[in-house]
Amino acid sequence: MNVVNNKWIGQRTIRPDGVDKVTGRAAFAADTTMPGMIWGKVLRSPHPHARIKSINTKKAEALPGVKAVVTSRDIVDFRIEKGAVMLGIQDMRWMCRNVMARDKALFPGHPVAAVAATTEAIAAEACKLIEVDYEVLPWAIEIDDALKPDAPILHEFNKFDGKPSNIMGRIESKKGDIAQGFKDADVVIERSFTTRPVHQGYIEPHACLISVAADGKTTIWSSSQGQFMVRAMTSMLTGIPQSDIRAIPAEIGGGFGGKTIVYLEPLATLLAKKSGRPVKMVMTREEVMRATGPTSGSKSTVKIGAKKDGTIVAAHGSFYLQAGAFPGSPIRGAVGCSFAPYDIPHVLSEGFDVCSNRSKVAAYRAPGAPIGAYAVECVLDELAEALKMDPLALRLKNAAKEGTKAAHGPVFPRIGYIETLEAAKNHPHYAAPLGKYQGRGVASGFWFNAGGESSAQVNITEDGNVVVTTGHPDIGGSRAGIANICAELLGIDYRRVSVIIGDTQTVGFSNLTGGSRVLFASSMVVTQAADKVIATLRERAAKIWEIDPEAVKWENGAAHPVSPNAGQFEPLTLADLAEKAPSQGGPIGASVQLNTQGAEGGFGTHICDVEVDVELGIVRVIRYTAVQDVGRAVHPSYVEGQLQGGVAQGIGWALNEEYIYNKDGKVDNPGFLDYRMPVCSDLPMLDCALVEVPNPKHPQGVKGVGEVPLVPVMAAVANAVHDALGKRFYSLPMSPPKVSAALDAPAQQAAE
């Protein structure tokens, strides 16, 4: 029996890793050195598309200070014709070609060789001495160009509709019969949209430090969203067995999905193996922008039909997403999430995975879902306008609820979408007055969330405190949530709980930090481990008191008899029982490993106010409220932080961020000056309204919260811009040149 009084769950405690991070002591990927360490650098293709006829590394190898050179010959080949070899969502056939080009370079920045030398400068110099004979090929970057009948084909083996194609795959979610559905509709709105590729924008560039001993024992120090993913991919690409690779998770300086794959680790491992020296590699910002995954640019068409009373009867979405050099754009998110907030009888949602000569996409916060929601939620705004309905009322009329069958498959259990709409409608923000050139928009969003494999150990120290080890890199404060939960369960002050992230050889397999799964999954395993520890503590007390363990309860950090009938004993605290442990059965601790189930999807509804500077075309967000069903806010500050961070990224995506390509097919803005992420003076305070509809399948009611908040943002901003100007924008970003051009358009016409 374990008495929980909710003393710590829901408290804004200080995070376990906080002091290290405010004093500069926390060690991130680039912050560590090893004795004898040398530096690795990557030679990258200058061409968007080129056949590699030969690579000559002799001159580079001869340069004094150079210790090793690797090319694709050194990397394990997963042959295309042998079929997919999946690791999570990644196919190793593409991964082995993405970390190092084999027969073809497919984007500017694609690695073609890597060098390790005694200094960074020598390694960079050696890269220039490598002779690559390229046969430059025609290229296509934009979706329209990649889909042209005569488009250059990136992967010649691929056929779509029987013809060579850059469309690498199609998926669909279907429900009912849309042809019938649209016949039933009184009003039908159909619009097409485009979005640009945007980068995750983590401030910490990819970096690693790797040592390979003469016996093959390998130590990897790197920052990623999964040390086990790093170990598995490095093992598969280098041939070193997983048992010989210890991947240590450094503190990670932001990921947002972009660090769910490897770029440098296999190269540094091979360089370290060849040279016999530890090798450090750190990307420049330019390399990050050119060669690591942004998310897809997109082209979407969405058609929605409704009855006069606002009942939506049919919806059709088709989403073309740029995968970049290799298949794997997030069409599943666009297809599955876009219509999920609504109960619609006839739905067809289809996605097309389009390769083009641009860096391979990596996951970005609710991958694909914001792209789909942007199109759907903008069409809903037009539908509400056509029906003369309040946009929230339209959504409420059609909101998914318990029992609704989503087009992507599941029948929803108890969900909190309607609660978010009600909360938005009743929020003072929604009724606040607006001034000239100001406008308000709303939009909703859904993300699947995820469970999956997690492991944890809960150990009681000899002095009666607690160490929790989990296997998920903590990006946004998950350790703080775990500390709260563990303190709650054990009935002790949260400061007595130390939470650390174990490396691959010290904690059991734990899947990626991704899919908004970390607190959901790790608190499930930590809860079970803590329950086991509490069972042990009660048994120990029972043994000491010579009573039945069932007659012992755990409360406020101590064992007590359940009632006076059980006997009169002084409570035995955690410290007492830890002290007596050696004589009462030994160390106290438990580990649990699970494939966690029961992660339920999350819903959010956002309200955005903008003001447009009509002289300069600048759109400013002046007020923002994010409402979300968060299940249970275990640490409200970090839940709010997830909402605020997602909103800020969405505002960037909506208003400024985009990859710009020059005439040679190269990214023309590969730095923070020209790739314009929101800075502090661009944003207002970002208000959050947390709706808590607990997840019945989780011991603390937790739902994933990290990804939903990016999903509605671009549509909310676009709808607000329409409200301010009476003009709709069908392509992102709504940057000053685009807004100015739209504002000038009628004036120009009038002048003619």
Partner 1 sequence: MAKLHVTTSVNGEPVEFLCEPYETMLDALRGQLGLTGSKEGCATGDCGACSITLDGRLVCSCLMLAAEAEGHEIRTIEGMAKGGELHPLQQKFLEHAALQCGICTSGMLVASEALLARNSNPTEEEVRFWLAGNLCRCTGYDKIVRAVMETAAEMRETAR
The distance of closest approach from Cβ of residue 437 to partner 1 in the complex, given in angstroms and rounded to an integer, is 20
Indicate whether 677 belongs to the interface with partner 1 (CB under 8 A).
yes
Neighbours of 403 (CB within 10 A): 11
Indicate whether 45 belongs to the interface with partner 1 (CB under 8 A).
no
Indicate whether 363 belongs to the interface with partner 1 (CB under 8 A).
no
Residue 194: in which H helix or E strand, if any?
strand 187-195
Q: Which residues contact 95 (CB under 8 A, 6 or more apart)?
A: 78, 87, 233, 236, 237, 261, 262
Indicate whether 62 belongs to the interface with partner 1 (CB under 8 A).
no
Query: CA-based angle 566:572:575, to the nearest 5?
Result: 165
The distance of closest approach from Cβ of residue 283 to partner 1 in the complex, given in angstroms and rounded to an integer, is 10
Question: In terms of CB distance, is 672 or 730 closer to partner 1?
Answer: 672
Question: In terms of CB distance, is 201 or 439 closer to partner 1?
Answer: 201
Indicate whether 292 belongs to the interface with partner 1 (CB under 8 A).
no
Provide the token pair at 354. Answer: 């389009």
Burial grade of 57 (CB within 10 A; 0-12, 13-18, 19 or more): buried
Indicate whether 738 belongs to the interface with partner 1 (CB under 8 A).
no
The distance of closest approach from Cβ of residue 736 to partner 1 in the complex, given in angstroms and rounded to an integer, is 17
Burial grade of 254 (CB within 10 A; 0-12, 13-18, 19 or more): middle
Spatial CA neighbour of 590 closest among 528, 529, 637, 651: 529
User: What mask, x for binding partner 1 by CB under 8 A, covers residues 616 to 645?
Assistant: -------------------x-xx-xx--xx
Give the pairing of strands 312-324 and 346-355: parallel
Judged by CB under 8 A, the residue of 30, 240, 313, 691 near partner 1 is: 30
Q: How many CA atoms lie within 13 A of 213 on its CB side?
A: 7
Give the pairing of strands 466-470 and 159-160: unpaired
Judged by CB under 8 A, the residue of 8, 9, 17, 43 near partner 1 is: 17
The distance of closest approach from Cβ of residue 152 to partner 1 in the complex, given in angstroms and rounded to an integer, is 33
Indicate whether 253 belongs to the interface with partner 1 (CB under 8 A).
yes
Indicate whether 123 belongs to the interface with partner 1 (CB under 8 A).
no
Stretch that binds partner 1, among 224-232, 558-566, 669-677, 744-752 (CB under 8 A): 669-677
Q: How many CA atoms lie within 13 A of 77 on its CB side?
A: 11
Q: Which residues contact 402 (CB under 8 A, 6 or more apart)?
A: 412, 413, 414, 415
**What CA–CA distance (Å, rounded) separates 352 from 166?**
10
Question: Scanning the structure block, which residue is given the tokens 């680039």?
Answer: 30
Question: In terms of CB distance, is 38 or 380 closer to partner 1?
Answer: 38
**What CA–CA distance (Å, rounded) separates 448 from 442?**
21
**What CA–CA distance (Å, rounded) separates 739 from 655?**
10
Indicate whether 124 belongs to the interface with partner 1 (CB under 8 A).
no
Indicate whether 35 belongs to the interface with partner 1 (CB under 8 A).
no
Stretch that binds partner 1, among 159-167, 246-254, 269-277, 400-408 (CB under 8 A): 246-254
Indicate whether 28 belongs to the interface with partner 1 (CB under 8 A).
yes
Judged by CB under 8 A, the residue of 202, 319, 352, 520 near partner 1 is: 202
Question: In terms of CB distance, is 42 or 533 closer to partner 1?
Answer: 42
Residue 266: in which H helix or E strand, if any?
helix 265-275
Indicate whether 685 belongs to the interface with partner 1 (CB under 8 A).
yes
Judged by CB under 8 A, the residue of 74, 91, 142, 251 near partner 1 is: 251
Question: In terms of CB distance, is 22 or 214 closer to partner 1?
Answer: 22
Indicate whether 679 belongs to the interface with partner 1 (CB under 8 A).
yes
User: What mask, x for binding partner 1 by CB under 8 A, covers residues 468 to 497?
Assistant: -------xxx--x-----------------
Question: In terms of CB distance, is 431 or 680 closer to partner 1?
Answer: 680
Walk across the sheet containing 686-691 and list its strands.
438-447, 602-613, 618-629, 686-691
What are the CA-CA distances from residue 50 to residues 54, 323, 663 (Å)?
Answer: 12, 18, 16
Judged by CB under 8 A, the residue of 400, 647, 716, 739 near partner 1 is: 647
Question: In terms of CB distance, is 30 or 489 closer to partner 1?
Answer: 30
Neighbours of 618 (CB within 10 A): 17
Indicate whether 254 belongs to the interface with partner 1 (CB under 8 A).
yes
Indicate whether 31 belongs to the interface with partner 1 (CB under 8 A).
yes
Indicate whether 36 belongs to the interface with partner 1 (CB under 8 A).
no
Backbone angles phi, psi at 67, to 5 degrees: -110, -20
The distance of closest approach from Cβ of residue 715 to partner 1 in the complex, given in angstroms and rounded to an integer, is 18
The distance of closest approach from Cβ of residue 679 to partner 1 in the complex, given in angstroms and rounded to an integer, is 4
Alpha helices in 656-735 (DSSP H): 713-725
The distance of closest approach from Cβ of residue 27 to partner 1 in the complex, given in angstroms and rounded to an integer, is 7
Judged by CB under 8 A, the residue of 563, 565, 568, 681 near partner 1 is: 681
The distance of closest approach from Cβ of residue 285 to partner 1 in the complex, given in angstroms and rounded to an integer, is 4
Provide the token pair at 693. Answer: 């509809």
Indicate whether 257 belongs to the interface with partner 1 (CB under 8 A).
no
Indicate whether 24 belongs to the interface with partner 1 (CB under 8 A).
yes
Question: In terms of CB distance, is 589 or 646 closer to partner 1?
Answer: 646
List beta partners, residue 572: 559
Question: In terms of CB distance, is 21 or 59 closer to partner 1?
Answer: 21
Is there a cis peptide before residue 733, judged by omega within 30 degrees of 0? yes
Judged by CB under 8 A, the residue of 26, 80, 544, 742 near partner 1 is: 26
Question: In terms of CB distance, is 249 or 561 closer to partner 1?
Answer: 249
The distance of closest approach from Cβ of residue 122 to partner 1 in the complex, given in angstroms and rounded to an integer, is 13
Question: In terms of CB distance, is 107 or 256 closer to partner 1?
Answer: 256
171 close to 351: Cβ distance less than 8 angstroms: yes
The distance of closest approach from Cβ of residue 314 to partner 1 in the complex, given in angstroms and rounded to an integer, is 37
Judged by CB under 8 A, the residue of 40, 48, 109, 205 near partner 1 is: 205
The distance of closest approach from Cβ of residue 22 to partner 1 in the complex, given in angstroms and rounded to an integer, is 4
**What CA–CA distance (Å, rounded) separates 144 from 158?**
18
**What CA–CA distance (Å, rounded) separates 260 from 224?**
7
Stretch that binds partner 1, among 70-78, 136-144, 529-537, 673-681 (CB under 8 A): 673-681
| Dihedral sign of CA atoms 349, 354, 358, 364 in order | positive
**What CA–CA distance (Å, rounded) separates 178 from 182?**
6
Number of residues forming the site for partner 1 (CB under 8 A): 57
**Considering just the CA atoms, what is the radius of gyration of the chain in Å?**
27
Indicate whether 15 belongs to the interface with partner 1 (CB under 8 A).
yes
**What CA–CA distance (Å, rounded) separates 665 from 288?**
17
The distance of closest approach from Cβ of residue 508 to partner 1 in the complex, given in angstroms and rounded to an integer, is 25
Q: Which residues contact 279 (CB under 8 A, 6 or more apart)?
A: 37, 38, 39, 40, 68, 116, 209, 210, 211, 268, 271, 272
Judged by CB under 8 A, the residue of 214, 411, 431, 680 near partner 1 is: 680
Judged by CB under 8 A, the residue of 170, 191, 274, 285 near partner 1 is: 285
Question: In terms of CB distance, is 26 or 85 closer to partner 1?
Answer: 26
Spatial CA neighbour of 282 closest among 40, 587, 583: 40
Q: How many CA atoms lie within 13 A of 180 on its CB side?
A: 7
Question: In terms of CB distance, is 137 or 677 closer to partner 1?
Answer: 677
Spatial CA neighbour of 3 closest among 559, 691, 723, 620: 559
Q: Which residues are near partner 1 by CB under 8 A?
A: 12, 14-15, 17-19, 21-28, 30-31, 200-205, 251-256, 282, 284-285, 475-477, 480, 635, 637-638, 640-641, 644-645, 647-649, 671-673, 677-683, 685-686
